[in-house]
A = this chain, B = another copy of it.
Amino acid sequence: MDERQALAAFGALSQETRLRVLRMLVVAGTDGLAAGVIAEKADVSASNVSFHLKELERAGLASARRDARSIIYSAEYDALSGLIRFLMEDCCSGRPEICSPVVDAASCCVPTRDIVQ
């Protein structure tokens, strides 16, 4: 992830509806969610959710595929973890001790003793 992509991603996440939608998509997993379902869950109009989904897509944080009449959106996990790594590079550069709380938080996901190398 370069600066350009990071800027786009931060921009995408800086809007309330979009942040909520992305979180929905993350929870929904690889199955994704139809645009209509997202609109309903987020309580916004069809055209508005479409606008925001496009923004998330443009930023690389979501992707779309058609399924019959619906268009299914899903989170781009690689982009999300790339963004986290981008932030961590900032955070850690020159100051390794800063990141330990983050690493602690990460340990909720993957037991630290299982990380090899």
Contacts and interface: CB of A to CB of B under 8 A. Distances in A.
- Name the prevailing secondary structure of the A interface residues: helix
Interface in A10-44: 10-11, 13-16, 19, 22-23, 26-27, 29
A100 B112 CA distance: 10
Interface of A: 3, 6-7, 10-11, 13-16, 19, 22-23, 26-27, 29, 77, 80-81, 83-85, 87-110, 112-113, 115
Contacts of A29: 94-95
**How many protomers of this protein does the assembly include?**
2
Given A106-B102, A109-B103, A115-B103, A91 B26 contact: yes
Contacts of A16: 3, 7
